[in-house]
Amino acid sequence: MTFAELKPKVQDIVSTATTSREEKLLQICHLLKDNIDYYDWVGFYFRNGNKEELVLGSYVGEATDHTVIPFGKGICGQVAVSNKNFVVPDVMAQDNYIACSISVKSEIVIPLFVNGENIGQIDIDSSTIDPFTEADERFLEFVNAEIAKTFH
């Protein structure tokens, strides 16, 4: 399924009034993992209150030990500090990388902003080297902008 085909499906999930935010996030994780062949792990991390750490929220894929990530550590922790997208074409070439699985070859992390504040991020791992393009970044920014609406 193309990004253009997925966008209205994301909007449908987000706009369902009877579904909790956690369930919406889980449905989006499933939608992306099931329809984009190089998205092998899809999950959300959120800032833990006022603490300088991220806590794992909804995700789909292999279980991970990384349920709490300090700011600055790993790709997710760096995005929590930089507030910028981070695309890692080859995780083996990255110094500050937290290995979740030996099958992970690349990663993309896009911050999620609500009212200009970085409250979390979508994190996607791939077992393919360098699959992520600018189109992935724009699509995931769209996904996060839709999710942000559930926080108002």
Per-residue pLDDT of 3-30, as tens digits, reads: 999 999 999 999 999 999 999 999 999 9
Q: SS3 string of the chain?
A: CCHHHHHHHHHHHHHCCCCCHHHHHHHHHHHHHHHCCCCCEEEEEEECCCCCEEEEEEEECCCCCCCEEECCCHHHHHHHHHCCCEEECCHHHCCCCCCCCCCCCEEEEEEEEECCEEEEEEEEEECCCCCCCHHHHHHHHHHHHHHHHHHC
Q: What is the pLDDT of residue 92?
A: 82
Q: What is the pLDDT of residue 94?
A: 72
Tokens of 14: 């987000």
Q: What is the pLDDT of residue 13?
A: 97
Q: What is the pLDDT of residue 152?
A: 74
Q: Which residue stretches of the chain have pLDDT < 70? A: 95-101
Q: What is the pLDDT of residue 97?
A: 64
Domain 3-151 CATH class label: alpha beta
Per-residue pLDDT of 108-121, as tens digits, reads: 999 999 999 999 99
